[in-house]
């Protein structure tokens, strides 16, 4: 399972949407699996050329796009990634900062190196990517989507590094939107429970959600595609919580 930020359902995309995105280029990080792979696939179906970056690509790039090996926590690697896009594609219209890791340990057990690794991958990478891609994104009047998490607002035990990174990502989103607008729009999606791996959700897991089901990667992919597209042109600096209503549900125990 994915509990927010770390299979694509069939979507019927009209020719108008495909035509509007034709010729546009998107970079999706953490695109080797899960939410990132679903976003890359959805954008490719919509006519985008997708550069799918991951530390461990699965070897099946989106149709018409390409895979790139990249550790987004590494400043030089990010600079090389964006320079490669400038050389090969010549433009960048959309950036999806999805790469993320979790190291779940009690606060007394997690090392400073582990803490820094989580923040570098989940939070600092977005700063590095946007800084490197700013010129290309401004030229295209592009958009950025950061994949945060409902863990920016609620937590389980032993998730301090992950929660801090995702909370920082929400704040970084609105800071970037103010600094880079109006040429570049920046928004965040905070997923809740998204079923990406592990045992399938149980009936009671679905029933716990006010929406009646656990989320799918396609749910986040559809929102990301909208935020990168022209229909969201008046939306920037916003966080969209996609969790089936769970952060609004009060739970009492007898």
3-state SS string for 87-116:
HHCCCCCEEEECCCCCCCCCCCCCCHHHHH
Burial class of residue 15 (count of CB atoms within 10 Å of its CB; 0-12, 13-18, 19+): exposed
Q: How confident is the model at residue 7 (pLDDT cuts 50, 70, 90)?
A: very low
Residues 6+ apart with CB under 8 A from 36: 28, 29, 30, 52, 54, 96, 98, 99, 147
What integer pLDDT is reported at residue 205 of this predicted model? 84
Per-residue pLDDT at 1 exceeds 80? no
Nearest Cα residue to 239 out of 223, 218, 217: 223
Q: How confident is the model at residue 5 (pLDDT cuts 50, 70, 90)?
A: very low
Which stretches of 51-159 are DSSP H helices?
A: 75-88, 112-119, 125-140
What tens digit of pLDDT does each residue of 132-170 get? 999 999 999 999 999 999 999 999 999 999 999 999 999
Place of tokens 């108008």: 16
Give domain status of residue 147, yes or no.
Answer: yes
Q: Which domain CATH number covers 77?
A: 3.40.50.720
The residues that are catalytic are: 162
Q: How confident is the model at residue 248 (pLDDT cuts 50, 70, 90)?
A: confident
Give domain status of residue 96, yes or no.
Answer: yes
Per-residue pLDDT at 4 exceeds 70? no
CA atoms within 13 Å, Cβ hemisphere of 33: 12
Nearest Cα residue to 29 out of 88, 101, 89, 86: 101
Q: Give the pLDDT mean for 116-125.
A: 98
What integer pLDDT is reported at residue 165 of this predicted model? 98
Tell me which H or E stretch contains 143: strand 143-147
Give domain status of residue 5, yes or no.
Answer: no
Per-residue pLDDT at 6 exceeds 70? no
> How many angstroms separate the CA atoms of 48 and 127, rounded?
23
What integer pLDDT is reported at residue 21 of this predicted model? 63
Q: Is 168 helix (H, G, I), strand (E, B) or coil?
A: helix
* Bridging pattern class, strands 66-69 and 143-147: unpaired
DSSP 8-state class, residue 154: -
Q: How confident is the model at residue 130 (pLDDT cuts 50, 70, 90)?
A: very high
Domain of 28, in residue numbers: 15-246
> How many angstroms separate the CA atoms of 109 and 72, rounded?
25
> How many angstroms separate the CA atoms of 196 and 3, rounded?
9
How large a percentage of the chain has pLDDT more than 90? Answer: 76
- Overall domain count for the chain: 1
Give domain status of residue 79, yes or no.
Answer: yes
What tens digit of pLDDT does each residue of 17-36 get? 555 566 999 999 999 999 99
Mean pLDDT in the chain? 91
Q: Which residues make beta-bridge pairs with 66?
A: 51
What integer pLDDT is reported at residue 11 of this predicted model? 38
What tens digit of pLDDT does each residue of 200-233 get? 899 888 988 888 888 899 999 999 999 999 999 9
Per-residue pLDDT at 8 exceeds 50? no
Nearest Cα residue to 137 out of 206, 183, 84: 183
Q: How confident is the model at residue 3 (pLDDT cuts 50, 70, 90)?
A: very low
Give domain status of residue 7, yes or no.
Answer: no
């Amino acid at each position: 399972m994915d509990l927010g930020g770390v299979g694509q359902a069939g979507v019927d995309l009209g020719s108008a949407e495909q035509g509007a995105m034709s010729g546009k280029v998107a970079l999706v990080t953490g695109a080797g699996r899960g939410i990132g792979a679903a976003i890359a696939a959805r954008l490719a179906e919509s006519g985008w050329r997708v550069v799918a970056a991951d530390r461990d690509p699965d070897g099946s790039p989106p149709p018409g796009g390409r895979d790139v090996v990249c550790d987004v926590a590494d400043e030089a690697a990010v600079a090389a990634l964006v320079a490669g896009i400038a050389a090969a594609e010549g433009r960048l219209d959309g950036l999806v900062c999805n790469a993320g890791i979790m190291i779940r340990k009690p606060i007394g057990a997690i090392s400073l190196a582990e803490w820094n690794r989580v923040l570098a991958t989940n939070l600092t990478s977005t700063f590095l990517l946007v800084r490197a891609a700013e010129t290309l994104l401004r030229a295209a009047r592009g958009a950025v989507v950061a994949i945060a998490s409902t863990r920016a607002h609620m937590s389980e035990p032993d998730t301090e590094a992950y929660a801090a990174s995702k909370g920082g990502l929400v704040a970084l989103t609105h800071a970037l939107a103010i600094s880079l607008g109006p040429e570049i729009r920046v928004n965040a999606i905070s997923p809740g429970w998204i079923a990406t791996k592990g045992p399938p959700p149980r009936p009671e897991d679905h029933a716990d959600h006010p929406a009646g089901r656990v989320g799918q990667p396609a749910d986040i992919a559809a929102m990301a595609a909208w935020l990168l597209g022209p229909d969201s042109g008046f939306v920037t600096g916003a966080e969209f919580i996609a969790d089936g209503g769970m952060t609004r549900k009060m739970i009492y125990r007898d």
